[in-house]
Amino acid sequence: MLLSKGPKFAPSGKFNQKVLSRISMGFVSLAATLRTRAASRSQNGITWDTLPPIPFPPAHFFLHPKSDKTDQQVAAAFNIFMKKINEQKCLHIADNMSKKMWSALKELGQNKDINITVSDKRGEFVITTNAFYRESTILHLTDTSVYTKITKTEYNEEVKKFYGGIESVLKSWNKKTADRLTDCHPSKNTLYILYKTHKFEERGEKATPSNTKVRPIISGVGGPTDRPSWVVCTIISQLLQFVGCHLQNTNEILKSLNDIRGKKIKTEIFYESFDVESLYTNIDNEAAYEVVITKLKQHYAQIKWYGVSFRDIKSSLKTCLNFNAFVFNEQHYVQKRGLAMGSRLAPVLAILYMDKLESLS
């Protein structure tokens, strides 16, 4: 009953003092951020002010002078928020879970022998034993054409090489911004899998690691490439507007279909979507790099650079692409070819790479 509700279901929350405290701290953090931006406006080059909001915490907390105007605006916003909260206090939020469901949720949380994930298409939960999950992942990693084992020392050498490649770029940036985009104690890139339930041959007790399909994801959150790749992605993702076949969202698809109807074209026009098998691992990284560099040169004057030089973007992109090390179950690996699914750069590079191939066909 509980798991059948699917991953999109969420228990109704209760507004208590703990939630209110977190919201209050959010307003305090907002005030500090606005003061920081105001203080950085006088600096040149790449700064917090010229870049979009940086989604990483600062290495240090800088207590900037108070700004009466900023503080008054934040205080006014907080007062409006609290007024709305007080108006809603009398409303009763119904619990959308039965006692039996809450009991089941608690029991699942305490069971350390099972692994609960969402499916590849995120439409359902997938429950396996931890042993089954490990076997499925290790079986995938036996593909020696894509992965190879490395030692912990070799992994650390890869990290050292990465920071050596990015160091010259960071030196050319504003120091405070460079510190914000540098993680001196990064976590390790970690691999996990999502089960492709829509391609399962067997389910339940008949399912085995060998007859279940998986999608490998290398999570770089908090890893060495996480912050530098964000800057690169912020700039090169603007190139997608010059890819004719790239539709960013459902609204754009609907608009495009309506445009075709509006023109009353007599010939039949159809949308086609082609699936490339193992696209990411079959992309040549060097070729993808050259495609991006060519596009950047072609549209240099049409995109925002946020104070970052063309040379720095080239160097950062190359360095990020060259780092493909990760860990699973305390064993270190490196992906020998292709883009790593889970990398912030991978989707943009894959689209630009395929656009180039289509233009040659």
What is the DSSP code string of 223-250?
A: STTHHHHHHHHHHHGGGGGG-TT---SH
Percent of the chain with pLDDT over 70: 89
Q: How much helix, strand and coil, in percent to the nearest 5, is found in the chain? A: 50, 10, 40
Confidence of residue 263 (pLDDT cuts 50, 70, 90): low
- One domain for residues 166 and 20: no
Residues 160 and 81 in one domain: no
pLDDT tens figures, 113-158? 999 999 988 778 898 999 999 999 999 999 999 999 999 999 999 9
Final residue of a structural domain among 65, 99, 133: 99
For residue 237, tell me if it sits in a domain. yes
Residue 308 counted as domain residue: yes
Query: In this structure, is residue 216 part of a structural domain?
Result: no
pLDDT at position 206: 85
Q: What is the per-residue pLDDT across 78-98, written as a single tens digit (0 to 9) for each?
A: 999 988 888 776 666 778 888
> Is 164 within a domain?
yes
What are the backbone angles phi and psi of residue 325, rounded to the nearest 5°? -90, 150
| Structure confidence at residue 7 as a pLDDT band (50, 70, 90) | confident
159 and 247, same domain (yes or no): yes
3-state secondary structure of 24: helix
Q: Which domain holds residue 295?
A: 143-188+223-360
Residue 54 near residue 176, CB atoms below 8 Å: no
Residues 50, 181 within the same domain:
no
Number of domains in the chain: 2
Are residues 227 and 329 both part of a single domain? yes
- 73 and 149 within one domain: no
Q: Quick one: pLDDT band at residue 47, thresholds 50, 70, 90?
A: low
The answer to which of 37-41, 149-153, 286-290 has the lowest mean pLDDT is 37-41
In this structure, are 156 and 13 located in the same domain? no
Q: What is the pLDDT of residue 269?
A: 67
Within a domain: 89: yes
Give a yes or no: residue 95 inside a domain. yes
DSSP state of 197: G
57 pLDDT band (50/70/90 cuts)? confident
